[in-house]
Amino acid sequence: MDHSLGPTGPGWLVALETSGLGDTLRQSLWLYPLVEVLHILGLALLIGSIAAFDLRLMGLHARLPAEALSRLLLPVAAVGFVLVVPTGLLLFISEATALARNPAFLVKIGLMVLALGNVALFHRGAGRRILDWGGGGRPPPAARVAGAVSLLLWVGVLASGRLIAYL
Rounded CA-CA distance 141/58 in Å is 9
The pLDDT, as a whole number, for residue 129 is 87
Sequence-distant (6+) residues with CB within 8 A of 67 are 130, 131, 133
Pairwise CA distance, residues 54 & 19, whole Å: 40
pLDDT at 135: 63
Least Cα distance to 105 among 118, 88, 120, 85 occurs for 88
- Record the pTM: 0.89
- CB atoms near residue 2 (< 10 Å): 7
* Res 136: pLDDT: 66
Residue 5 is predicted with a pLDDT of: 74
**Using CA atoms, how far apart are residues 75 and 53, in angstroms rounded to an integer?**
12
> What pLDDT was estimated at residue 38?
98
- Residue closest to 157 by CA, chosen among 121, 95, 123, 113: 113
pLDDT of residue 25: 95
Distance of CA 164 to the CA centre of its chain: 14
Spell out the per-residue pLDDT of the chain, length 167, in tens: 454 577 888 899 999 999 999 999 999 999 999 999 999 999 999 999 999 999 999 989 888 889 999 999 999 999 999 999 999 999 999 999 999 999 999 999 999 999 999 999 999 999 988 887 766 678 999 999 999 999 999 999 999 999 999 99
